[in-house]
Amino acid sequence: MEPEEHPNATAVRRFIDAWFDGDFATWTALAADDIVIHMRGKPAIDGSYHGEAGVMLFFERFAAALVDGFEMEVEDVVADDRYAMAIMRSEYRRGDDSVVLRNACAYKLDAGGRICEAWNVSDSQGPEREFFTLVDAHPSGLGIGQGPQ
């Protein structure tokens, strides 16, 4: 019999699903008010995004960088009362460009099971950096490497 999944692993799966589905109401409900998302190695969206306003800016920049969308598949999530790690396969597309990555996505959770910090690394950092550098002008007018610190 498979051991029961930790509730924080379930929360992270819902968090990722809500992100993929664009369900921001669910996504923000699973996030702490002072959530921080760290993005590095993706020049068009690099930065540390704080709180709801930061998250909305991150959503805008991410959507602008991926005109033609993305796919995400969660392979596994491990979690305890404080931390979680998701192993994921991601594919990002823009015009004729695409990149396929496997990511280790780290999460810190508060005592209420809400995600308060997130950061990640992929298995193909060079191609990932190149893909997210090719964006020289977002529809929103945001440029390269202007993520908030």
For other proteins, the binding residues (CB under 8 A) are 38, 40-41, 75-76, 78-80, 82-85, 87, 102-104, 106, 108, 117, 119-126, 149
Least Cβ distance, residue 74 to other proteins (angstroms): 11
Residue 3: partners with Cβ closer than 8 Å, 6 or more residues away: none
In the complex with other proteins, the residue whose CB is nearer, 105 or 142, is 105
In the complex with other proteins, the residue whose CB is nearer, 93 or 108, is 108
Q: What is the secondary structure of the chain as a DSSP string? A: -PPPPPHHHHHHHHHHHHHHHT-HHHHHHHEEEEEEEEE-S-GGG-EEEEHHHHHHHHHHHHHHH-TT-EEEEEEEEEE-SSEEEEEEEEEEEETTEEEEEEEEEEEEE-TTS-EEEEEEEES-HHHHHHHTTS----TTS--TT----
In the complex with other proteins, the residue whose CB is nearer, 9 or 57, is 9
In the complex with other proteins, the residue whose CB is nearer, 63 or 106, is 106
Least Cβ distance, residue 64 to other proteins (angstroms): 23
